[in-house]
Amino acid sequence: MKWTAMTMAGWVVWCSGLAAATDWPKFHGPNGDGTSSETGLRKNWGESGPAIPWSCDVGPGFGGVAVRDGQVFLLDRVLSEADVMRCLDLETGEEIWSKRYEAPGRLSFPGSRCVPTVEEEYVYALGGFGQLTCFSRESHEMEWMVHLVDEFGGELPKFGYSQSPVVYEDLVIVAPMGEEIGLVALDRFSGDEVWSTDGLRPIQASPMLVELHGTPQVLFVGASGEGAQAATVLRSYDPDTGDVLWSVDTGGAGSIVAPVRVAENRLLMTGRVTTLFDVQTNNDGFQVEPVFRVEEGSALHLVMAHDDHYYLVTSGERGGGRRGRNRGSDGGESNQEAGEEEESRGSGRDRSRRGGRGELGRLICVDSSGNEVWRSGDDAAYGSSNVLLADKTLYIQEGYSGALRVVAPSPDGYQLLAEADLFGSADARNDQQAWAPMALSDGRLLIRNQDSLKCVDLRGDS
C-alpha cells in the first residue's frame, strides 16, 4: 500500500511527536534514556504493597511495552509459531485488538524481544527473526512488512533481533547487520528503502536517536574486526542520509545496551565496562573523547544519571550476567525436553542458589569522575535489573526474582525506600529472568516477568 509522506517541521516537532507528556511511546521512554518527567509518584506503600489494578497473561520473553494515548502496545510471541501485536487498555488491561503474523522458528532465550515504537497513526515493531512491521492504529491491520534477512541480507544475531525501531521524521531506521547493509532507513509509510550504510557484524544493541550540538544523530554500536582483534565501535550516522558523522572505540562497552545522552553533549555506555564520552565539535567535525571508564558495567540495562552521579546495576555471575543461562530453543517439544534435562541436572532456571546471592550483581553509585561512591551489600544483591528514573527516584525491577524495589538516588549511601514481591517469587530458588524494560505512563508502572504483565498504580505521593 503506497502512502504520501507527511511533511514534518524538523527535529523539534519530531521530538514531541504529538505524544502527551505522560506517554511512554518507545524503547526507554520519551527521551530514550529511561527517565520520566512525571511527579507525585508513590515511593512507599507499607506492608500491604502497591495497588495492582490489573494483570494479564503474556507469552515468555523479554519484550517491553510502549504506551501512547492510554493504549499499551506489546509485540508478544507464540513460541515456535508467530509474533502477535497486542493493544491493551491502560486503565483496565483489557485487550482492544491484536494481530498475529507467522514467524516460525526457534530462538535461544525464547520469546519476545523488542519494544514497539508508537506514532500517532502507526505502530512499528521488529520481531526476533527480522520481520519489521507497520500496523495501523485505526484499522488494526498490517500496512506493510519487510524482512531484514530476506530483503537486506541481514544476519540473524546469536539471540535473534533484539532491537527496537527508530522513527525520525518520515523514516523508520533499523539494523539488518549484514555483510552488505548495516543500517537501513525506510519510508515509514510504505516500507520502501531510502538509504543504507555499509555492512556491520551482528550485535544485540538498538539504534538510538539523539541530538548533539544541535545535530540529530543515530547512534549504533557495531563490532569491527575479527577474533582477538575485534572491537566494539560506536558510530554516529546522519539520520537524513546515513553518512557517518563520527566513530569511537568503546573499549568493551555497549554490545547489548544502547548509548544514552546523560548531559548536553555527553554519552554514557555500559556493558563489560562503563564509559562516559564527551562529544565536541569544531571546523574539523566531531571529536569524541572518554571522560572516565569504570571496569565493570551492566549487561542488559541502562545506567541512570542524577545530580552528577551515575547509578548502575553491575553484572554478577547470575541473573543475566556473564554466566546467565541460555534458556534453550524457542518452543516446541525439544524445548520441553531440554528444560526437563536441565532440571534433572539442577541447572538453568530451576537451579538452586547454592552459591548464594553473592553471585548476583550490586547497585553502585559513581561520581562525575567515575569514582565509586558506594555499593549495595549482600542483603541488596541484584540480578540483571532494569532501572527507571522518575520523580527523583529509582524504580528497579530485580532481574533474578522480578521484585520491584524503590531506591533513593543519593551519594549518601544505598537507601531502599520500598520493595514489593509482585510475582510471588522473591524467595524462590529459580531465576525469573525478568529482564524486559519497564514503562511508566500517567502514574502507572508496567512491569512483567516471563508469563504476566502487571500494572502498578504509583499515583498519589507518599
Q: Which three cell numbers stand for residue 378?
A: 549482600
Question: HEC string of 187-226?
Answer: ECCCCCEEEECCCCECCCCCCEEEEECCEEEEEEEEEECC
Is the torsion defined by CA of 272, 339, 164, 94 positive or negative? negative
- Report whether 288 contacts 276 (CB < 8 A): no
Is the torsion defined by CA of 53, 39, 370, 276 positive or negative? positive
Is the torsion defined by CA of 155, 161, 165, 166 positive or negative? negative
The count of other CB atoms within 10 Å of the CB of residue 36 is: 24
Q: Residue 294, SS3?
A: strand
Q: What is the residue-level pLDDT of the chain in tens, covering all 462 positions?
A: 222 233 233 333 344 444 566 899 999 999 999 999 999 999 999 888 999 999 999 999 999 999 999 999 999 999 999 999 999 999 999 999 999 999 999 899 999 999 999 999 999 999 999 999 999 999 999 999 999 999 999 999 989 999 999 999 999 999 999 999 999 999 999 999 999 999 988 888 899 999 999 999 999 988 766 655 567 889 999 999 999 999 999 877 667 888 999 988 999 999 889 999 999 999 999 999 999 999 999 988 999 999 999 999 998 754 343 333 333 344 443 333 333 333 232 333 433 333 344 478 999 999 999 999 999 998 898 988 999 999 999 999 999 999 999 999 999 999 999 999 999 876 666 788 999 999 999 999 999 999 999 999 999 865
Q: What integer pLDDT is reported at residue 251 of this predicted model?
A: 79
Closest by CA to 163, choosing from 180, 148, 143, 179, is 148
Q: What angle do CA 330, 331, 337 make, to 5 degrees?
A: 110
Q: What integer pLDDT is reported at residue 228 of this predicted model?
A: 53
Beta strands in 315-451 (DSSP E): 361-366, 372-375, 381-382, 386-390, 393-397, 404-407, 416-420, 439-441, 444-448
Q: Residue 113, SS3?
A: coil
Rg (CA), the chain: 21
Over the stretch 388-404, which tens digit does the pLDDT of each residue have? 999 999 999 999 999 99
Sequence ranges of the domains in the chain: 22-329+356-457
- Alpha-helical segments (H) within 329-445: 332-345
Closest by CA to 311, choosing from 258, 361, 254, is 361
Q: What integer pLDDT is reported at residue 89 of this predicted model?
A: 98
Q: Which long-range contacts (C-beta less than 8 Å, at least 24 apart) are formed by 282-285?
A: 285/245, 285/246
- Report whether 255 contacts 272 (CB < 8 A): yes
Going from the C-alpha of 381 to that of each of 200, 210, 309, 413, the distances in angstroms are 36, 32, 20, 15
Over the stretch 405-441, which tens digit does the pLDDT of each residue have? 999 999 999 999 999 999 987 666 678 899 999 999 9
Second-level CATH architecture of 22-329+356-457: 8 Propeller (2.140)
Closest by CA to 240, choosing from 170, 154, 163, 164, is 170
Q: Which three cell numbers stand for residue 188?
A: 515509514
Q: What integer pLDDT is reported at residue 337 of this predicted model?
A: 32
Q: Which three cell numbers stand for residue 299?
A: 549487561
363 DSSP β-pair partners: 313
- Report whether 457 contacts 40 (CB < 8 A): no
Q: What integer pLDDT is reported at residue 319 of this predicted model?
A: 39
pTM summary value? 0.88
